[in-house]
Structure 1
């Protein structure tokens, strides 16, 4: 009598996915303030790369034609290609000039009117804005969740495959925090690696004294005070700026001070792009200031039209301002569009 033993089928173990992101230490350049990273959005290599992909991917727009990078081109210090106003997917133009995405990890608020308190909050708005990408986050999430690569990338970055707007914003913010400009001629001068010309040195003196009166608002290594000012552009405002957000009439005509780093690349200038050149900007501050009830007290010479620089002083001031241009930043391959280099 033969007895045959029963052998059970062996079920292979299901591999357990391990969420093991690579921490990314973002060091502040010499002389810059410490960069505060949100506790709920720590920097990782995977999160930054995901954010870079999302920043340049038109999938976030309703018709798949426009990305964040469409209006924030690295060659223009992440502004809109020299355009006065940006145009959305429905061919509708906005009313404010595109601000640079540079050193914004140190910004205490974002947009010209300061309505976003953080980079994560700011990243949410363009997708649903009807004059920009014009897509609901519900539709964007469906497209991302159905994508062949993004669910895996989100797992690698956040340990979650179910993609929602919060995770998209966190990834984009991680990438944007890496967009640091700190290698202009002026930075190299401060490090003892370059010398200024006579004209640049004289422009420096104008900039940082009452002669030019630039330093009050464009102070610190960031070249912005992170505050809001009515700088004497108009006597009557069609765009009320900060007051549109705060609803405080004392804020009418106040706009966020932009950084002057890479300012040679970010024209046209002012919140509405009214000035095409830096020469026009300097002429405005020299002779064309306009009084209004909320004019900033720092515009001390508004009564005489401005600081009244001579033609030579204007040239020297411009020469110094040009030393703030950082082409290492604009040419950094880590900041470039990944879709220009690979299939995705």
Structure 2
């Protein structure tokens, strides 16, 4: 009988230990994360093939959200004041409206106009001189530039690594709380890849949902004749580097592509920018020297400087520049304004 009692007591004790162990372990288990989902990058069928490699950096909802937070994070700069969003303002198609060139920490002045951040997932090169070829690496340039954010990836990590909100965001995006430079850069590039502008009047026209006015249609025809040799395709850029007859700005001492290649044939060649949302992105050119679209077209018709590197498209039929009269310019500008995407510059998903 005593043997039977001992058996039951031992059995109960074993079961009690197992239950307590289970409870103890349960307390230590991290709650399962809300399942991350792929972020659907939506764009028209007539857009070019996407260059952003999602096999290397899959775009997810949590990754984009982390990237959005980092995009507006001032602690990525040396003195915690300059975020990516400081120079790339949504309502201006992510440019620095009113500033000829970018402004950075301690009110330092850069040498180039902040380009728009839009449709980056379809481009092959970035920056005015094309020095960056991979969107995952692009944020390194402003973060480390002495006149912009003047920081480093290790310094940025040190500032946010103990932030509980960032720990949660990194865990939700990557599965654990580890904050690395690669993860920061990839999250930022996921957010930038999500910045797709494809809902302008021009796009609705392309889809047969809206008609252009007679002036806009005339402007589109003139644009095709006079501008599309460089501003081609649905992004309105061929991504080439061209010398357009701008004088060398001695204040900034920026010779464009030459700074990358040190090849004299690249002197004053700059990447042809996309013209989508161009209505919102003044001032214009690599150094923001023109404040209106009228001024840009006046330059091309009357102020192009001939030089050894001047693009052949700008010296045809014995004429330097692009022949345009005042009415033609106004029609072209009317067409350019059909490339404005109001939903893009007001989409709350892209806001701080």
What is the TM-score when the length of structure 1 is the normalising length?
0.91
1:72 to 63, 88, 94: 88
Shift of 1:144: 1.5
Shift of 1:136: 2.3
Whole-angstrom distance in 2 between the partners of 1:170 and 1:36: 15
Shift of 1:293: 1.3
2:150 to 128, 134, 145: 134
Shift of 1:159: 2.2
2:235 to 198, 213, 222: 222
2:59 to 43, 55, 75: 43
Please give the per-residue CA displacement for 1:247-269, whole angstroms capped at 9, x wherever unaligned.
22111111001101110110111
Match of 2:127 in 1: 111
| Residue ranges of structure 1 left out of the alignment (5+ in a row) | 338-344
Comparing both structures, which one devotes a greater share of its residues to helix?
2
Equivalent residue runs for 1:285-296 within 5 Å: 285-296=300-311
Larger Rg: 2
Q: Does the aligned pair in 2 maintain the 1:43–1:174 contact within 8 Å?
A: yes
Q: Does the aligned pair in 2 maintain the 1:235–1:292 contact within 8 Å?
A: no
Whole-angstrom distance in 2 between the partners of 1:44 and 1:8: 43
Shift of 1:18: 5.6
Are residues 18 and 303 of structure 1, via their aligned partners in 2, closer, same or farther at CA, if it must alter by over 3 Å?
Answer: farther
The question of 1:206 aligning with 2:222 is answered yes
Q: Does the aligned pair in 1 maintain the 2:79–2:105 contact within 8 Å?
A: yes
Q: Does the aligned pair in 2 maintain the 1:291–1:302 contact within 8 Å?
A: no
Shift of 1:246: 1.5
Equivalent residue runs for 1:227-306 within 5 Å: 227-234=240-247, 238-301=253-316, 303-306=318-321
Whole-angstrom distance in 2 between the partners of 1:233 and 1:79: 21
Whole-angstrom distance in 2 between the partners of 1:41 and 1:76: 28
Whole-angstrom distance in 1 between the partners of 2:295 and 2:342: 23
Q: Does the aligned pair in 2 maintain the 1:28–1:35 contact within 8 Å?
A: no
The number of residue pairs the alignment matches comes to: 334
Please give the per-residue CA displacement for 1:65-120, whole angstroms capped at 9, x wherever unaligned.
11100000010000002211121112110011000001111110100011111111
| Residue ranges of structure 2 left out of the alignment (5+ in a row) | none
Whole-angstrom distance in 2 between the partners of 1:60 and 1:203: 43
**SS of structure 1 residue aligned to 2:256:** coil
Match of 1:29 in 2: 44
Whole-angstrom distance in 2 between the partners of 1:307 and 1:227: 18
Query: Could you say what the CA RMSD is over the residues aligned between the two structures, in angstroms?
Result: 2.0
Please give the per-residue CA displacement for 1:5-38, whole angstroms capped at 9, x wherever unaligned.
5564723223256675312232332311232442
**Which 4+ residue blocks in structure 1 deviate beyond 3 angstroms?**
1-9, 16-20, 235-238
